Amino acid sequence: MGLFDKLKNLVKKKETEEKKETLETYEKGLEKTRDEFVSKLSVLGIKYTKVSEEYFEELENILIMADIGVNTVFKFMDRIRDRVKKENITDTKYLQEVIVDELFIIYVNNESLSDKINMAESGPTVILMVGVNGVGKTTTIAKLAYKYHKEGKKVMMIAADTFRAGAVPQLKEWAEKTDSYFYGKENTDPSSVIFDGLEEAKKEQVDIVFIDTAGRLQNKVNLMKELEKMNKVIERIIPNAPHETLLVIDATTGQNGIVQAESFKEITNITGIVLTKLDGTAKGGIVLAIKESVGIPVKFIGLGEKMTDLQVFDIESYIYGLFKDMMGNE
């Protein structure tokens, strides 16, 4: 069974209550992209009933406009043309199903990239959060803390963005709102704050520690040195930590988000991406573009303002959220 048929079945039964909620969140959160992208795709299927070069050209344009990324689109189009030729596809309605399957394949790409968080077997799991200022890093930490607190975990936040005005009290406020432990000091060396905070986390037997960091990319060399120092301090106190380094990107910045991902990948070991504000853009194809450009899995996506709107990324739910209108609701 192809992914298209599998997702069509999901539309019919929406499986468990939990799966239903997840699908509905994706459905609502990807509405702007779906309205823009899939409606154009559907119109294309009406305009051309038979596959032609003109159809391919318009399809390519629609995919680029959805911010899937030029390189990804070119690779994708090669795959589509190849399948059309091999399978002798002439009907554009059937080709839409092939498009859904191929977008899924291009994301997965035969790799076992995990969207799961790498949890420590014993002691605190340390998650280092990086990203430029203004992408929603602090609120992302709060949403993740809320999620894990609801799952019964003891959570701590460490404020290592020590020199930006208001950053430490802001994180402290979120810690209070989410019943998390907190450690932070203003105007001091970030690595020393991390050292003391992690000692405290061990003493309190915390399960998960989120470390907020400064979001400066202007001087990559300085940031690289700062992150190297942080990583050394973290590993000295908790061996094999950080267990995850998550890069937070604002989806509404489009291709600029990919530039940020490439820059951060150069300076530290990014293990996963959090895409915020995906509900606020019609260019939800950035999920595919980022994975294709930097080869790092998207682990969480923000699909709204509420605490519960930060979702563990699930490629099937994402493709469903994009193409639901093409699958019928019978």
pLDDT band, residue 61 (cuts 50/70/90): very high
Residue 146: its pLDDT value, please? 96
Verify that 75 and 135 share a domain, yes or no. no
Indicate if 38 and 131 belong to the same structural domain: no
Same domain, 92 and 12: yes
* Structure confidence by residue, pLDDT tens digits, 72-128: 899 999 999 999 999 999 999 899 889 888 888 888 875 655 668 899 988 899 999
| Strand order through the sheet with 310-312 | 181-184, 155-159, 208-212, 125-130, 244-250, 272-276, 298-302, 310-312
Whether residues 141 and 258 fall in one domain: yes
One domain, residues 75 and 146: no
Average pLDDT, the chain: 89
pLDDT digits (tens, 9 = 90+) for 184-218: 999 999 999 999 999 999 999 999 999 999 987 77
Task: Tell me: do 146 and 270 sit in the same domain.
Answer: yes
The verdict on 171 and 81 lying in the same domain is no
Give pLDDT tens digits for 298-310: 999 999 889 989 9
Q: What CATH number has the domain bearing residue 60?
A: 1.20.120.140
Instruction: Decide: residue 304, CB within 10 A, 0-12 exposed, 13-18 middle, 19+ buried.
Output: middle
In Å, how far are 15, 20, 44 from 284, measured between CA atoms?
Answer: 25, 21, 19
Read off the pLDDT of residues 310-327 as tens digits, 9 standing for 90 and up: 999 988 889 888 888 776
Q: Are residues 106 and 165 in the same domain?
A: no
Q: Which two tokens stand for residue 12?
A: 């019919």
The average pLDDT across 252-273 equals: 91
The reply to whether 117 falls in a domain is: no
Q: Please give the structure tokens belonging to residue 239.
A: 């061996």
Asked if 53 and 140 sit in the same domain, the reply is: no
Asked if residue 161 lies in contact with residue 190, where contact means CB atoms within 8 angstroms, the answer is yes
- Output the pLDDT for position 9: 64
Name every residue whose Cβ is closer than 8 Å to that of residue 41 and which is 6 or more positions away in sequence: 59, 62, 96, 99, 326
Q: Which of the four pLDDT bands, split at 50, 70 and 90, describes residue 2? A: low
Q: Is residue 120 part of a domain?
A: no
pLDDT of residue 22: 84
Q: Is the pLDDT of residue 14 over 60?
A: no
- Is 46 part of a structural domain of the chain? yes
Write out the E strands in the chain: 125-130, 155-159, 181-184, 208-212, 244-250, 272-276, 298-302, 310-312
Q: Are residues 185 and 292 in the same domain?
A: yes
- Average pLDDT for 137-162: 96
Q: Identify any residues that bridge with 298 across adjacent strands, giving them in sequence order.
A: 273
Q: How confident is the model at residue 45 (pLDDT cuts 50, 70, 90)?
A: confident
Residue 118 lies in a domain: no
The lowest-confidence range among 28-32, 68-72, 163-167, 177-181 is 68-72
Judgement on whether residues 258 and 298 belong to the same structural domain of the protein: yes
Identify whether 211 is part of a domain. yes
pLDDT of 159 > 60? The answer is yes
| Number of domains making up the chain | 2
Task: Using the predicted structure, report yes or no on whether residue 232 has a pLDDT greater than 80.
Answer: yes
The CA radius of gyration of the chain, in Å to the nearest whole number, is 21
The reported pTM is: 0.90
* Per-residue pLDDT reduced to its tens digit, 163-173: 999 999 999 99
Q: Is residue 119 part of a domain?
A: no
Q: How many CB atoms lie within 10 A of CB 233?
A: 20
Residue 84 lies in a domain: yes
Domain that residue 265 falls in: 125-314
Look up the CATH number of the domain holding residue 136: 3.40.50.300
Q: Are residues 136 and 266 in the same domain?
A: yes
- Assign 329 a pLDDT band (cuts: 50, 70, 90): very low
